[in-house]
Amino acid sequence: MIPNDKGLYKGLTEAKSRGEKRLAILFDPDKMRLKKMEQTLDLALSCGVDYFFIGGSLVVNDMLDDLLIQIRQRCPVPLILFPGNSFQLSYRADGILFLSLISGRNPELLIGQHVISAPFLKMSPLEIISTGYILIDGGVQTAVQYMSNTYPIPANKDDIAVCTALAGELLGLRMIYLDAGSGATMPVSESMIEAVSGAVSVPLIVGGGIRTPEKAAANLRAGADLIVVGNAIEKDPSLIREISAAVKDFQPA
């Protein structure tokens, strides 16, 4: 049973079983500028973006609630928290990725922050989706690497990513997120996505450094069920059109 089930996870698993793909746009509360945000929301609505993920490795302003209110007023797309730590929680979202950083060996991010946030989440109306978060080397040191104080899995070690994802699934985590980190110069490789998606049956999220519709499509062909794009859309919101078209047009190879 999914805590506070609002159909978000069910929607993802049903889409996966039909071979359909999904797109999430990541909003970092620190980086969002109002004008670009309005443009992004209008485009996301007209292009049928499936989810907004909200979060960042380091949120230094107190705009999380305001951001959620502003998005909600303008756009009905589901809001899913993607928190970098247990301060980034709000009842104003629809759901939360309850992330365990299973590629790392930092107990705080494997279980510590979860213990702190569990009572808040238990009382909250948020749909809670436990997610095995796997950080892959993205070619530059990303904020998440530094802030999490963990080593990413080397980009060419598909077998380590597979074993990590398998362990996450066997521990009962309901999704796996392969992330090269926001702003990665080297996104997760198709070969790693293919290997991981062949090994687990839970939905597979892939993000970090996706900048083109071609890479989005290649990730979907390799087995990603949901792709996440942040930086590239922050820089050029009009990219939503091409990337969402690539997701909607996806046909299994």
Binding site for ligand 1GP (CB under 6 A): 26, 179, 182-184, 207-210, 228-232
User: C-alpha distances in angstroms, 153 versus 142, 181, 209, 234, 252?
Assistant: 13, 12, 16, 26, 28
Q: Which residue is nearest to ligand 1GP (CB)?
A: 207
4/186 with CB nearer ligand 1GP: 186
- CB of residue 178 vs ligand 1GP: minimum separation in angstroms? 9
Encoded amino acid at 204, one letter: L
Asked whether the beta carbons of 89 and 117 are under 8 A apart, the reply is: yes
9, 127 Cβ separation under 8 angstroms: yes
How does DSSP assign 77-138, residue by residue? Answer: S-EEE--SSTT---TTSSEEEEEEETTS--HIIIIIHHHHHHHHHHHS--EEEEEEEEEB--
Shortest Cβ 142–ligand 1GP spacing (Å): 8
Minimum separation from the CB atom of position 74 to ligand 1GP (A): 21
CB of 146 to ligand 1GP, least distance (A): 13
Q: Which residues, 6 or more positions from 195, have their beta carbon under 8 angstroms from its beta carbon?
A: 158, 159, 161, 162
Q: Residue 1 or residue 60: which is nearer to ligand 1GP going by CB? A: 60
Least Cβ distance, residue 119 to ligand 1GP (angstroms): 26
Q: 196 or 229: whose CB is closer to ligand 1GP?
A: 229
Question: To the nearest whole angstrom, how small is the minimum distance from the Cβ of residue 29 to ligand 1GP?
Answer: 13
Q: How far apart are CA 210 and CA 215, in angstroms?
A: 6
Distance CA 76, CA 198 (A): 33
Separation of alpha carbons 199 and 222, rounded Å: 12
Closest CA to 121 of 175, 150, 81: 81
CB of 26 to ligand 1GP, least distance (A): 5
Q: Which is nearer to ligand 1GP, 4 or 63 (CB)?
A: 63
> By C-beta, is 152 or 208 nearer to ligand 1GP?
208
Of 94 and 208, the one with the shorter C-beta distance to ligand 1GP is 208
Nearer to ligand 1GP, 14 or 185 (CB): 185
